[in-house]
Structure 1
Amino acid sequence: MEPPSFHPCDEAVISTNDDASNCKRSAVKLGYWKDDYIAHFVRNPDRKAPEINRGYYARVKGIEMCIEKFFKVSGVRANVSQEENVRNKTGDKCQIVNLGCGFDTLYWRLREAGHMVTNFVELDFPNVTSRKCYQIKRNKVLLEKIHVEDGEVRLSPTDLHSTNYHIVGVDLRNIEEVALKLQQSEIDYSVPTIFLAECVLVYIEPQNCHNLLKWFAANFKTAAFVNYEQVNMNDRFGEVMLTNLRQRGCSLAGVDSCVSLDAQISRFLQCNWHGARAWDMVQIYHSIPASERARTERIEMLDEAELLVQLFQHYCISIAWIGDLFQDIEIT
């Protein structure tokens, strides 16, 4: 099969990384959550509307809650040094594969929290990974976190490989290239693996997306997939969101899987994942501890409380699983 060629709308999709990173930096700067690393990728963010800041807080917090539950099931301990984790090849095994990673700082935040995974692999367009590699290479704070005693950090213009952290430039529509890049990143298909995707699958043509999800399901023995994405896109508010994105050049090729929570679940079941669940962000937000919600709600007053509810109703988190390990996980 001939690999997909670069599509004109890919540039618009790539630019969404800058938008998302800017929004996260805006919220972090105001104190919605702690992230000492995002400032190395986004220097001077534009201040965003309170609804956007709180929406991104719910997004980041929701994904963190998923990961924490997966870690608990996988037996990944906190407060483990990187050197100890590398030596301990018989326990605490868990991999994270971050699809369309952009400038996400999850690896560094997990390191700071003392969570060590066996392997952490980030994939995105080479145009994005080259910028991320450049920032890591020139920043001691970022670089020292991925360096292990007696370990080597190998850098190319688009890829970075260390003992347990890898960034690779790849087109997710090209399965052979994805397989090669994962091999270069020393992925272990027998180890429990968490896939992460934030507004990624919606930009991939349905057949290419199905091929990717089916390939993961066929090759990984035990896996979970955490997907943050649009939902309820067939109502009036969703149509306005679609129009705004299309005006920016984003085609949302996979929007058919974003019409409902059931459609989100069906996407995974049709691709041979063993099970799936989905929640809109209203449910996710209210699953955050009340004291933590109260803290963030004091940061700034909402301009339009109804707008935040509408935004929450049009984004969701879905999880899917392969094998028995992750099948009983509930988020809300």
Structure 2
Amino acid sequence: MQTQDPDSAIRLTDTDAALARLSAVQKRYLDDPFLKHLVPRAHLQQPRPYLINIGTYVRATAIDDLVFQWLQNSAAQGTRCQIVSMGSGSDTRFWRIATGPHKDNLAAYIEMDFPEITTKKAMAIRKSKDLSAVLGDVTVAPGGTGLSSPKYHLLPADLRLPPADTFGRLLASDSGAVLSPALPTLLLFECVLVYMSPTASSAVLQWFREYFSPQGSGALGSIVYEMFRLQDSFGRVMVDNLKARHVSLPGAEPYPNVESLPDRYLNLGFSAARALTLKEIRKSYIPPAELQRIAQLELVDEIEELDLVLEHYAITWGLFVPPSASATPWSQWGLSVKAAAPVDEEDED
């Protein structure tokens, strides 16, 4: 009898995320002309409830803000930067950057995920003229499990394995390093580390921090988006629902509240870290004009339920500046308050 692949349920969460983003695009919360090429039968997919649409919008808007700041800070120093997206799944951020105003600020964009996911993505990229045209010359990995171009690299990897066996081999090999410790580098983890043991996720961050110190001269930034605070009644329901789908969240245990989230970075020697819940970001860190625009897209009739969901997800960002790099340009990197007043009253109309 064939045993079920224990990681198949985790890989299916990428489908959930892609369909949630597609729904937010369909409802005009977000603009993403590339996503349809990575979602099978995109035109037949049904929109998601407003709870998912708004959560997806807040998540995407905040992470985009942090990423664009990183690109701008690098350009202000007269250098380009690198972005490494772990568990990247069906994400389209590379194409959005590569066709946008910050395209010249990007030296390399690296995506890593399970081989099953990178194989499907590599195939979708090669089939789509819109996606492949942005890459230029492409080299396909043996077996079609990934591909590389001058700026974009799609690499198969299990992030739970010892970092020396994965990142050391794929990113920092003596035969030709894909990742330079001399350039400012941003790590992205969107719903990734929560599926890993705390020991494994710490090992990933520790490898990168050591790679950029002491020999590195580029700043290292990292963004984590995931669920947390799963010990309360709402969190336990989330955990039970995922267990029913054979998905566990071992990485959430060390983070019972938002105050504990920066410890992920600070305990590993990062220079600074901060965390905000999606509820906080929605209320104060989205431009007022944008809040007014999205308030017109769908009727929100349960503010309390929306807030309850949003306060169980957070974005945490950490910064490490090697001794040989200047901290000044990076000291202001982070989300800043943009909305002057709560938006609940507008939503309840």
Instruction: Provide the TM-score with structure 2 as the length reference.
Output: 0.85
Deviation at residue 51 of structure 1 after TM alignment: 1.1
Query: Which of 273, 278, 293 does residue 276 from structure 1 map onto?
Result: 273
Residues 317 and 334 of structure 2 are in contact (CA less than 8 Å); yes or no, is this contact kept in structure 1? Answer: no
Selected match of 2:285 from 284, 287, 301: 287
Fraction of identical pairs, as percent: 31
The residue number in structure 1 matching 2:147 is 160
- Whole-Å separation in 2 of the counterparts to 1:112 and 1:320: 27
State the match for 1:3 in structure 2: none
- 2:159 aligns to what? 172
Deviation at 1:172, TM superposition (A): 0.7
Give the count of matched residue pairs: 310
Q: How does 1:106-117 map to 2 (within 5 A)?
A: 106-116=93-103, 117=106
Q: Quote the Cα distance in structure 1 between the aligned partners of 2:107 and 2:139.
A: 18
Deviation, 1:113, is 1.5
Equivalent residue number for residue 342 of structure 2: none
Asked whether the equivalents of residues 166 and 185 of structure 1 are also in contact (C-alpha less than 8 Å), the reply is no
Matched, 1:188 2:177: no
Aligned CA-pair RMSD: 1.8
User: Which one of the candidate residues 226, 229, 240 is aligned to 2:226?
Assistant: 229
Q: 1:171 to 1:135 in 2, by over 3 A?
A: same
Letter of the 1:125 partner, please give it.
Answer: F
Match of 1:121 in 2: 110
Closer, same or farther: CA 185–165 of 1 in aligned 2, 3 Å: farther
Post-superposition offset of 1:105: 0.4
- CA distance in 1 between partners of 2:171 and 2:4 (Å): 23
SS of the equivalent of 2:65 reads helix
Q: Is the aligned partner of 1:24 residue 2:21?
A: yes
Query: In structure 2, what is the equivalent of residue 133 of structure 1?
Result: 122
Matched to 1:210, the amino acid is S
2:60 aligns with 60
Q: What SS does structure 2 have at the residue aligned with 1:14?
A: helix
Aligned-pair CA distance for 1:276: 0.9
Q: 1:260 deviation in Å?
A: 1.5
The yes-or-no answer on 1:93 pairing with 2:97 is no
Which residue of 2 is the match for residue 86 of structure 1? none
Q: Which amino acid is 1:134 matched to?
A: M
Is the 1:17–1:103 Cα contact (8 Å) retained in structure 2?
Answer: yes
Greater mean alpha carbon deviation, residues 94-103 or residues 217-226: 217-226
Does 2:190 align with 1:198? yes
Q: Show CA shifts across 1:72-122 (max 9, x none).
A: 22226xxxxxxxxxxxxx943100000100000001111222312000000
Question: What code does the residue aligned with 1:136 have?
Answer: I
CA distance in 2, matches of 1:201, 1:134: 26
Residue in 2 that maps onto 1:331: 335
Instruction: Report the residue type matching 1:92 in the other structure.
Output: T
Q: Which residue identity is paired with 2:332?
A: D
CA distance in 2, matches of 1:233, 1:202: 11
Specify the code of the residue in structure 2 equivalent to 1:234.
Q
The equivalent residue for 2:298 is 300
Aligned to 2:324: none
Q: What are structure 2's unaligned runs of at least 5 residues?
A: 322-326, 337-349
TM-score, normalising length: structure 1 = 0.89
CA distance in 1, matches of 2:99, 2:88: 19
Larger RCO: Structure 1 or Structure 2 (Cα < 8 Å, ≥ 6 residues apart)?
1
The structural deviation recorded for 1:277 is 0.6
Q: Is the 8 A contact 2:187 2:221 kept in 1?
A: yes
Indicate which of 257, 274, 278 corresponds to 2:254: 257
Give yes or no for contact 1:9–1:251 (8 Å, CA) kept in 2.
Answer: no
Question: Which residue identity lines up with residue 186 of structure 2 in the other structure?
Answer: I
Deviation at 1:68, TM superposition (A): 1.9
Q: 2:55 is paired with a residue of what secondary structure?
A: helix
**d(CA) in 2 for partners of 1:189, 1:75:** 17
> What is the CA distance between 1:169 and its match in structure 2?
0.5
Task: Give the residue type in structure 2 aligned to 1:47.
Answer: P
Give, in angstroms, the shift of residue 191 of structure 1: 0.6
Q: 2:334 & 2:223 partners in 1: Cα distance? A: 12
